Structure 1
Amino acid sequence: MPTLTRRGFVATAMAGLAVADAALATDGAVPNSAGTERPRHRAPAKACDSHFHIIDARFPPPDTPKPPGMTFDDYRLLQARLGTTRAVPVQPKNHGTDPTCLLDSLARFGGNGRGIAVLRPDVTDAELKRLDAGYMRGLRFSVWNPKDTVAPIATIEPLAKRIADLGWHVQVHMSGEQIRENAALLNRLPCPIVFDHMGRLDPAKGPDDAGFATIAGLVEKDRAWVKLAGAYLNTKVGPPGYPDATRTARAFVKLAPERLVWGSDWPHVTETHKPDDAVLFDLLSDWAGNEAVRDKILVDNPAKLYGFA
């Protein structure tokens, strides 16, 4: 990755935003997102999208699929449409444990990005320091589907011990059942935990799922955070209101609004029929109940969790 000054980072980021705004002025379309309208609810200043993926065929590894329309420039179009400024890209499985694409994106965000990587336990201390300097702030363990897991459950604790002194956190994508089964492991980790996609609780049970109690216990000890993302992963009913996912989201808001962040989950790699991101963004206002809580979830909470100035 070429070395840029901080001024160069900012200039690159602003140029990207200019391109995004120009494209939006044309047709409002964003790859891998339905609809063209902006959200009904305007985003506050410094609003953060805390969960999405950048997938780019220019970056390794070369032997994994890289679907089109999922690059940094494509994501800039979504930012312009939604009105978000800060961004937390999460390493996708398409890039394995190679952080090159993620580091490139973080550099191009010009200080407004923080990244979540996927690594192996044998990562060197020097590499961790390099990633920390490149705005990496956590490690993801997506184990919900064992068939395509890159970093398995057995690697969570060894890596958590490696990153604790850096102030990073562990981000887990587990089902509610997996969360309950691994409660002892999660409770002994030496760093904070962020639960992906509202904990992937059973949509029929919502907050009555045993996994909710495990998450709540960690949240109440100030040990955990929850991402309000992936409404379509937490529903059997579906759009436009995702009532079962809404029930779960509101339960987390009632539990601890100060421990929540929001994410678009663009480019919605699990979905054959892409959702409308403006609808997903507006859902947060319904979940939060009022503007003050919504803005806390979009601005204050991610600033604290990810270390935005």
Structure 2
Amino acid sequence: MPRPLDGDRPTLTAPPLTTDTHMHFFLPGYDGQPGGPPLPEMASIEDYAVVRRRLGIERVIAVQPNAYQADNSCLLHCLRQLGDIARGVAVVTPDTAEDELLSLHDAGVRGARIMNLPGGGIGLDRMREVESLVRPLGWHLIVQFDGRNILDYLPLLRGLQGRFIVDHIGKFLEPVPTDAPSFLELKRLLDSDRCYLKLAGCYETSKAGAPKFDDVGRLATDLIAHAPERMIWGSNWPHIGVSADRYPDDAQLLDVLGDWTGNDPALLHRILVDTPAELYGF
């Protein structure tokens, strides 16, 4: 089934300079790498331009897909094609050479991806080494793990010296209640001036499902109320690994952000424009 790109516009009118802080490109000619999942259907700059127009997105953060592991060549190509509207999040290993880091930085990369789930390029066990390489460049880390295990990871996360983003609303693979110890610890992390949270991928973990994703939505609403200045939003396009019957409607994914924020214009501007600009140097 071809991936749907267009459709009805969202009810939420995105403010000018809205930033999608999490999406992926897959282009012909770039091979998947050992250790990663299989390459999915291609997802091009032209495809994503349709989604951008539909949602009113003007700026984009392209995140290195797991399928490419630490081969960032496709990401670099896309950043150079997109120019000033784009920044990137790469996979960096402790062995990444300084000249490669500088090339990534010059192309617009401003973050390094840590993925502590199957198929991820670099896990939490090597996170501190990666941070020591990228922090002098002003980059931050984007960290994804099963939020139910956050208590095991707290020493590592609290030991980070620079800014980091907890990915995918904490990625609780089974949504937890808002008084769960793991969720309360996530909120405590957000009390640090170094920790941010990405409102993305709600459909991946929700058991309630579309259109409202109420179980994950409860967590998102609580987190937004707790630390509104530390929230960013991402589409997670092209929604890799989702079956056709569960493929999310991109307009709905923007509209649920409106639900979670009470459609407060100032709060939406903070999440969609101001905080991404601060983190990514727009």
Same fold (TM over 0.5): yes
Note if contact 2:228-2:267 (Cα within 8 Å) is conserved in structure 1. yes
TM-superposed deviation, 1:179? 2.1
Give 3-state SS (helix, strand or coil) of 1:247's partner: helix
Deviations 1:23-44 (A, max 9, x none): xxxxxxxx63476111111111
Note if contact 1:203-1:234 (Cα within 8 Å) is conserved in structure 2. yes
| TM-score, normalised by the number of residues in structure 2 | 0.92
- CA distance in structure 2 between the partners assigned to 1:178 and 1:166 by the alignment: 30
Give 3-state SS (helix, strand or coil) of 2:83's partner: coil
Task: Rate the CA distance shift 1:214–1:110 in 2: closer, same or farther, 3 A.
Answer: same
Over aligned residue pairs, what C-alpha RMSD do you find? 1.7
| TM-score, normalised by the number of residues in structure 1 | 0.85
Note if contact 1:48-1:85 (Cα within 8 Å) is conserved in structure 2. yes
Bigger Rg, which one: 1
Task: Rate the CA distance shift 1:71–1:209 in 2: closer, same or farther, 3 A.
Answer: farther
Aligned to 2:47: 74
**Length, aligned pairs only:** 276
1:94 to 61, 67, 74: 67
Give 3-state SS (helix, strand or coil) of 2:95's partner: coil
Note if contact 1:201-1:211 (Cα within 8 Å) is conserved in structure 2. no
1:299 to 273, 278, 282: 273
- CA distance in structure 2 between the partners assigned to 1:133 and 1:228 by the alignment: 27
Question: Is residue 2:149 matched to residue 1:175?
Answer: no
Note if contact 2:25-2:42 (Cα within 8 Å) is conserved in structure 1. no
2:161 to 184, 190, 198: 190
Unaligned runs of at least 5 residues, structure 2 = none
TM-superposed deviation, 1:68? 2.6
Aligned to 1:32: 3
Deviations 1:81-139 (A, max 9, x none): 11100000110012121111111111122211110111221001121111111100111
Question: Is residue 2:208 matched to residue 1:242?
Answer: no
Query: Identity, % of aligned pairs?
Result: 35
- CA distance in structure 1 between the partners assigned to 2:210 and 2:198 by the alignment: 19
Where in structure 2 are the equivalents of 1:1-309 lying within 5 Å? 32-33=3-4, 36-61=7-32, 65-145=38-118, 148-201=119-172, 203-273=174-244, 274-289=247-262, 290-308=264-282
Task: Rate the CA distance shift 1:131–1:243 in 2: closer, same or farther, 3 A.
Answer: same
- CA distance in structure 1 between the partners assigned to 2:103 and 2:185 by the alignment: 34
Structure 1: 4+ residue segments shifted above 6 A: none
- CA distance in structure 2 between the partners assigned to 1:32 and 1:173 by the alignment: 25
- CA distance in structure 1 between the partners assigned to 2:58 and 2:6 by the alignment: 20
- CA distance in structure 1 between the partners assigned to 2:74 and 2:169 by the alignment: 26
Task: Rate the CA distance shift 1:176–1:66 in 2: closer, same or farther, 3 A.
Answer: closer
Letter paired with 1:149? G
Give 3-state SS (helix, strand or coil) of 2:141's partner: strand
Note if contact 2:142-2:165 (Cα within 8 Å) is conserved in structure 1. yes
Unaligned runs of at least 5 residues, structure 1 = 1-30
Letter paired with 1:301? T
Letter paired with 1:192? R
Note if contact 1:141-1:156 (Cα within 8 Å) is conserved in structure 2. yes
